[in-house]
Protein backbone atom coordinates (compact mmCIF):
# COMPACT_ATOMS: atom_id res chain seq x y z
CA UNK A 1 0.00 0.00 0.00
CA UNK A 2 1.21 3.47 -0.84
CA UNK A 3 1.87 5.16 2.52
CA UNK A 4 0.80 8.52 1.08
CA UNK A 5 -2.71 7.06 0.96
CA UNK A 6 -2.80 5.92 4.60
CA UNK A 7 -5.83 8.09 5.38
CA UNK A 8 -7.78 6.23 2.70
CA UNK A 9 -6.53 2.76 3.63
CA UNK A 10 -7.22 3.43 7.33
CA UNK A 11 -10.80 4.51 6.74
CA UNK A 12 -13.14 1.96 8.26
CA UNK A 13 -16.70 1.78 9.51
CA UNK A 14 -16.09 2.16 13.24
CA UNK A 15 -18.96 1.57 15.65
CA UNK A 16 -17.32 2.01 19.06
CA UNK A 17 -16.08 5.37 20.29
CA UNK A 18 -14.31 6.79 23.31
CA UNK A 19 -16.24 9.14 25.58
CA UNK A 20 -14.32 12.13 24.30
CA UNK A 21 -15.69 15.18 22.53
CA UNK A 22 -14.60 16.19 19.04
CA UNK A 23 -13.31 19.80 19.19
CA UNK A 24 -15.19 22.46 17.23
CA UNK A 25 -12.17 23.17 15.02
CA UNK A 26 -12.03 19.53 13.96
CA UNK A 27 -15.74 19.58 13.15
CA UNK A 28 -15.14 22.70 11.06
CA UNK A 29 -12.27 20.93 9.29
CA UNK A 30 -14.57 17.99 8.49
CA UNK A 31 -17.21 20.32 7.09
CA UNK A 32 -14.62 22.13 4.99
CA UNK A 33 -13.44 18.77 3.65
CA UNK A 34 -17.02 17.83 2.76
CA UNK A 35 -17.62 21.11 0.99
CA UNK A 36 -14.41 20.68 -0.99
CA UNK A 37 -15.95 17.75 -2.88
CA UNK A 38 -16.68 18.04 -6.57
CA UNK A 39 -20.23 18.92 -7.51
CA UNK A 40 -21.98 18.76 -10.88
CA UNK A 41 -21.83 22.27 -12.36
CA UNK A 42 -20.56 23.51 -8.96
CA UNK A 43 -24.12 23.59 -7.66
CA UNK A 44 -23.13 22.37 -4.15
CA UNK A 45 -26.61 21.06 -3.24
CA UNK A 46 -25.49 19.80 0.16
CA UNK A 47 -26.42 20.88 3.68
CA UNK A 48 -24.84 19.50 6.86
CA UNK A 49 -26.53 19.16 10.24
CA UNK A 50 -24.04 18.88 13.10
CA UNK A 51 -25.55 16.96 16.00
CA UNK A 52 -23.91 16.73 19.44
CA UNK A 53 -26.92 16.68 21.76
CA UNK A 54 -27.08 13.25 23.44
CA UNK A 55 -30.89 13.08 23.47
CA UNK A 56 -31.06 13.94 19.79
CA UNK A 57 -28.33 11.38 18.90
CA UNK A 58 -30.24 8.72 20.86
CA UNK A 59 -33.48 9.69 19.12
CA UNK A 60 -31.79 9.41 15.73
CA UNK A 61 -30.52 5.94 16.64
CA UNK A 62 -34.08 4.91 17.48
CA UNK A 63 -35.16 5.19 13.84
CA UNK A 64 -32.03 3.88 12.14
CA UNK A 65 -31.85 0.07 12.43
CA UNK A 66 -28.07 0.00 11.91
CA UNK A 67 -27.46 3.22 13.82
CA UNK A 68 -27.05 2.03 17.38
CA UNK A 69 -23.48 3.39 17.47
CA UNK A 70 -25.05 6.86 17.58
CA UNK A 71 -25.84 6.11 21.23
CA UNK A 72 -22.12 6.33 22.04
CA UNK A 73 -20.84 8.62 19.28
CA UNK A 74 -20.11 12.15 20.49
CA UNK A 75 -20.99 13.61 17.10
CA UNK A 76 -23.05 13.02 14.00
CA UNK A 77 -23.08 14.90 10.74
CA UNK A 78 -26.26 14.46 8.75
CA UNK A 79 -25.69 15.09 5.05
CA UNK A 80 -28.74 16.44 3.26
CA UNK A 81 -29.39 17.58 -0.27
CA UNK A 82 -31.53 20.30 -1.78
CA UNK A 83 -33.06 18.99 -5.04
CA UNK A 84 -33.75 22.55 -6.18
CA UNK A 85 -30.04 23.32 -5.95
CA UNK A 86 -28.87 20.12 -7.71
CA UNK A 87 -27.71 20.33 -11.32
CA UNK A 88 -30.72 20.18 -13.61
CA UNK A 89 -32.79 19.41 -10.46
CA UNK A 90 -31.77 15.76 -10.90
CA UNK A 91 -31.77 13.46 -7.87
CA UNK A 92 -28.93 11.45 -9.39
CA UNK A 93 -26.64 14.49 -9.42
CA UNK A 94 -27.69 15.37 -5.88
CA UNK A 95 -26.83 11.86 -4.68
CA UNK A 96 -23.47 11.87 -6.45
CA UNK A 97 -22.55 15.29 -5.09
CA UNK A 98 -23.56 14.42 -1.54
CA UNK A 99 -21.76 11.06 -1.74
CA UNK A 100 -18.56 12.82 -2.80
CA UNK A 101 -18.92 15.15 0.21
CA UNK A 102 -19.55 12.17 2.49
CA UNK A 103 -16.44 10.36 1.28
CA UNK A 104 -14.34 13.49 1.77
CA UNK A 105 -15.57 13.71 5.36
CA UNK A 106 -14.86 10.01 5.94
CA UNK A 107 -11.30 10.33 4.64
CA UNK A 108 -10.78 13.50 6.67
CA UNK A 109 -11.89 11.70 9.86
CA UNK A 110 -9.27 9.05 9.20
CA UNK A 111 -6.55 11.61 8.42
CA UNK A 112 -7.34 13.44 11.69
CA UNK A 113 -7.25 10.32 13.88
CA UNK A 114 -11.03 10.16 14.21
CA UNK A 115 -13.32 7.38 13.06
CA UNK A 116 -16.76 7.27 11.48
CA UNK A 117 -19.55 5.05 10.28
CA UNK A 118 -21.69 5.91 7.24
CA UNK A 119 -25.40 5.22 7.80
CA UNK A 120 -27.68 5.43 4.81
CA UNK A 121 -31.03 7.18 5.06
CA UNK A 122 -31.98 7.67 1.40
CA UNK A 123 -33.87 5.92 -0.23
CA UNK A 124 -35.58 4.41 2.85
CA UNK A 125 -38.69 6.55 3.32
CA UNK A 126 -39.14 5.56 6.99
CA UNK A 127 -35.58 6.72 7.77
CA UNK A 128 -36.05 9.96 5.85
CA UNK A 129 -39.29 10.70 7.72
CA UNK A 130 -37.65 9.84 11.05
CA UNK A 131 -34.69 12.17 10.47
CA UNK A 132 -36.95 14.95 9.23
CA UNK A 133 -38.96 14.65 12.43
CA UNK A 134 -36.03 14.45 14.88
CA UNK A 135 -33.98 17.17 13.17
CA UNK A 136 -36.81 19.40 11.90
CA UNK A 137 -35.58 19.09 8.31
CA UNK A 138 -37.76 21.00 5.82
CA UNK A 139 -39.90 18.90 3.47
CA UNK A 140 -37.96 20.08 0.40
CA UNK A 141 -34.59 18.93 1.84
CA UNK A 142 -33.60 15.28 1.54
CA UNK A 143 -31.58 13.60 4.29
CA UNK A 144 -29.10 11.36 2.48
CA UNK A 145 -26.89 9.88 5.19
CA UNK A 146 -25.82 10.12 8.80
CA UNK A 147 -22.15 9.97 9.73
CA UNK A 148 -21.47 8.79 13.29
CA UNK A 149 -18.11 10.31 14.27
CA UNK A 150 -15.81 10.02 17.26
CA UNK A 151 -12.49 8.85 18.59
CA UNK A 152 -12.10 5.12 17.87
CA UNK A 153 -12.30 2.89 20.95
CA UNK A 154 -9.99 0.41 19.21
CA UNK A 155 -7.29 1.41 16.72
CA UNK A 156 -7.85 0.28 13.14
CA UNK A 157 -5.10 -0.96 10.86
CA UNK A 158 -4.67 0.23 7.31
CA UNK A 159 -5.74 -2.25 4.66
CA UNK A 160 -6.75 -2.40 1.03
CA UNK A 161 -9.62 -4.32 -0.53
CA UNK A 162 -8.08 -4.28 -4.00
CA UNK A 163 -9.29 -7.12 -6.20
CA UNK A 164 -7.78 -7.75 -9.62
CA UNK A 165 -11.06 -9.46 -10.63
CA UNK A 166 -12.84 -6.10 -10.41
CA UNK A 167 -10.40 -4.41 -12.82
CA UNK A 168 -11.03 -4.42 -16.56
CA UNK A 169 -8.49 -2.85 -18.87
CA UNK A 170 -9.50 -1.24 -22.17
CA UNK A 171 -12.65 -3.40 -22.46
CA UNK A 172 -14.69 -5.63 -20.17
Domains parsed from the chain with CATH numbers: 14-154 (3.40.109.10)
**Dihedral through CA 45, CA 50, CA 13, CA 7, nearest 10?**
80
β 115-120/142-150 pair status: antiparallel
Q: Is the dihedral of CA 91, 166, 15, 156 positive or negative?
A: negative
- pLDDT value for 1: 85
pTM for the full predicted model: 0.96
- Judged by DSSP in three states, 146 sits in strand
Reported as a single tens digit per residue, the pLDDT across 64-95 is 999 999 999 999 999 999 999 999 999 999 99
- Going residue by residue through the chain, which has 172 residues, state the pLDDT in tens, using 9 for 90 and above: 899 999 999 999 999 999 999 999 999 999 999 999 999 999 999 999 999 999 999 999 999 999 999 999 999 999 999 999 999 999 999 999 999 999 999 999 999 999 999 999 999 999 999 999 999 999 999 999 999 999 999 988 899 999 999 999 999 9
CA pair distance 25, 156, nearest whole angstrom: 23
In the prediction, which pLDDT does 97 show?
Answer: 98
| Start-end of H helices in the chain | 6-9, 24-34, 54-62, 91-111, 125-135
Q: At what angle do helices 91-111 and 24-34 cross, to 10 degrees?
A: 140
Amino acid sequence: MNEKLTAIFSRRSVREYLKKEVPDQMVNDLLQAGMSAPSAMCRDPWHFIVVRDRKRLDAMAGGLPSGQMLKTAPLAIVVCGDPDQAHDHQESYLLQDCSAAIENILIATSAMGLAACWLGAHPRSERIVHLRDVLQIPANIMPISVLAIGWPAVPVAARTRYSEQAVHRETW
